[in-house]
């Protein structure tokens, strides 16, 4: 199995749960990401009662000033 296949499998597992799927979609939309393995794993492991801005900081997903670029994420 290739690495991308593992990433897709992780995302599929998160999306198979209706609660995680809803949170995953919202998080990806807010972060302007599509099919992010990091977001999928984070949805399952992070304290989701935190504000999204606090979670972004915890994950290192802080945009560069004046640019719409995320510093640390991997897309499939």
In this structure, what token pair is assigned to residue 16? 């198979």
CB atoms within 10 A of CB 39: 25
The pLDDT assigned to 7 comes to: 87
Kindly list the distances between the CA atom of residue 34 and the CA atoms of 28, 49, 73, in Å, as whole numbers in the listed order: 6, 22, 11
Domain borders along the chain are 3-59
Q: Given pLDDT bands bounded at 50, 70 and 90, which one contains residue 12?
A: very high
* Average confidence (pLDDT) over 21-48: 86
**Residue 64 pLDDT class (50, 70, 90 cuts):** low
Q: What's the CA gap between 13 and 15, in Å, rounded?
A: 5
Place of tokens 């995302």: 11
What is the pTM assigned to this prediction?
0.57
């Amino acid at each position: 199995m290739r690495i991308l296949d593992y990433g897709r499998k992780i995302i599929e597992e998160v999306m198979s749960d209706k609660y995680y799927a809803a949170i995953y979609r919202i998080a990806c939309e807010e972060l302007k990401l599509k099919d992010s393995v990091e977001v999928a794993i984070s949805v399952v492991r992070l304290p989701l009662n935190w504000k999204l801005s606090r979670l972004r900081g915890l994950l290192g997903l802080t945009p560069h000033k004046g640019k719409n670029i995320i510093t640390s994420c991997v897309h499939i």
